[in-house]
Every structure is written in structure tokens, then in C-alpha cells.
A and B are shown apart, each in its own frame.
Chain A
């Protein structure tokens, strides 16, 4: 049984303790919400579906165009970043960060969160 309150706590801690991180969502690979900390103007269901879609396409590119295993999808926008990483076979993690975020720190903290969450999903 997945402890959803524990997952929610992990995400909450991650978002509030890392500078310039604005949101995070954990979704199933087929695009359903598991747990999320998102601003109220973002629809959780849509976010989940979009996250699953883009990660699946990114992984497909990695595979077909011989880029190997995909570590992350990184979307760089004018106002900030979206990062998508696979969380094992059970979940996909989306991280939203502001433009001021330091990329190295962002990747590191994201990796750390994945390591923390993965065991909770089994």
C-alpha cells in the first residue's frame, strides 16, 4: 500500500526547502495524478496527462535515435523550467522551477527526491 500522505510530505518538503522550486507532481506513467504540490491555477489531471505524454515521447527519442537511457526531459521556458524524470516503473516526477534556479542544484535535488520517493512506491 502506497502511503499517500508520506509522498505528499516528501513533495511538500522538497518544494518548500529548495530555493526557486515552485511545484512538483508525481503521476502514473499512464497520466493519472498520484500526489502533487502545484499552484491552484494548474489543473492536476491535465498536468499528469501532459507529463506522461512528454516523458513517453522523450524516452522514445532516446530509444529510436540511439541516445540511450533518458535521464530527464528538460523544458526551458522564458519564465522557468520544467523537469521530468522517471521514478521507476510506477511513476513520473515533474518539477517546476523559476528562472533563477541554479540548474546543477535543481538536478541534484531532483535526483535526491527520486531516490527518496522510489522506495515508497513499492
Chain B
């Protein structure tokens, strides 16, 4: 049985590290460092290489989760990680419209690196500042896509919600003919 490699990506502060931590059954290999750029205004630490976690589904299928860094200066890590993933979750913080443009750029970058299926995970959707899913799809330029990826709300701090998100992605992989147990 092949291990499925799943990328968890998105802009700074979208919830990538939290997402991997919430669901991993092993201690997450994290590479957090104290943030000293504008990231420090949002959170204390930032991922500088990748987060690695593992999850075994009920069927026995093993998922390896790779959380990427969010800042553009780490794009060499995106180049290393993304071409190898079977599918990926693209996280967007719905309460930070100022980041939507960066999200769109990042999504286009990822699409160049991999043709693998993706789903869009909307975080902080319970915030009063949260944008609606269809508006975000529009700002990300997804509404024009022939095959619009599924968009789902996800609470990155909640393992049940994260599991739902990954199951949806695995279903996408099956639809695309990727061998999943």
C-alpha cells in the first residue's frame, strides 16, 4: 500500500501548523522559530522548513502530512514539497481579507508546482469578520475554473473538523483514480 503524501499549505497564519498538530498521531516534527517580521504581529512563531505529521485512516491507509511555510521567501520549500504530494489542502483565513491577494498568488504558484487534487479549507469562519465562501472563491479566482475544487469550512484546532477536511480530500483523490485503501 502506498503512503499518501498530503500537503497543507496557505499564507502566513492560515492555520497550517495547527492543522497538522490537531490530527497527527505522532509528535509533529515542527520547525518553528520565533517570528521577527510582520508575522510577529499575528503569532509568536513561524514554520521555517516544514511540519510533518502522520495519520492512519480506519481502512489502514496512511497519510503523511506536510505543512509548508507561508512566507514567499520559503518558496524553495514549496518547490521541494509540492511536486511530490498526492493532494493538498489550501487553507485560507476568512477573517483576513488583506491576505486574499497573497492567497490567490500562492494558489497559482502551487498549481504550477502540482496538478494534484486540492481542496480549499476556510479557517476562522466563525469570526464576525469572516467572508462568505462564494466571495472567497471569487477573490481566489476559483469560480472560473472548469473543475472548481471543493471548499469547506475547517476549524484547524479541532481534530474532528480537520479529519472531515482530509476525508473530503481523500474522496477527491479516489475520484481522480488515485489508489487509496
Point out residues on A near B: beta carbons under 8 Å.
Answer: 28-32, 45-46, 48-50, 52-54, 56-57, 60, 64, 89
Q: Which chain A residues lie closer than 8 Å to B39 at the CB level? A: 30
Q: With A49-B73, A49-B76, A53-B77 given, is the CB distance from A30 to B34 under 8 Å?
A: yes
Let me know if A49 and B34 touch, CB within 8 A: no
Q: With A31-B73, A49-B73 given, is the CB distance from A56 to B36 under 8 Å?
A: no
Point out residues on B near A: beta carbons under 8 Å.
Answer: 29, 31, 33-37, 39, 45-46, 48-49, 69, 71, 73-74, 76-77
Let me know if B36 and A30 touch, CB within 8 A: yes
Residue of A whose beta carbon sits closest to that of B49: A53
Q: Which chain B residues lie closer than 8 Å to A64 at the CB level? A: 29
CB < 8 Å neighbour of A30 from B29, B35, B76, B77: B35
Could you tell me the distance between the alpha carbons of A49 and B31 in the complex, rounded to whole angstroms?
A: 13
Let me know if B36 and A52 touch, CB within 8 A: no
Let me know if B76 and A46 touch, CB within 8 A: yes
CB < 8 Å neighbour of B46 from A30, A46, A89: A30
Let me know if B29 and A29 touch, CB within 8 A: no
Residue of A whose beta carbon sits closest to that of B30: A60
Q: Which chain A residues lie closer than 8 Å to B35 at the CB level? A: 30
Q: Which chain A residues lie closer than 8 Å to B29 at the CB level? A: 60, 64
Let me know if A29 and B73 touch, CB within 8 A: no
Residue of A whose beta carbon sits closest to that of B80: A53
CB distance from A7 to the nearest CB of B (A): 15
Let me know if A50 and B76 touch, CB within 8 A: yes
Let me know if A30 and B31 touch, CB within 8 A: no
Q: With A30-B39, A45-B73, A46-B76 given, is the CB distance from A60 to B31 under 8 Å?
A: yes
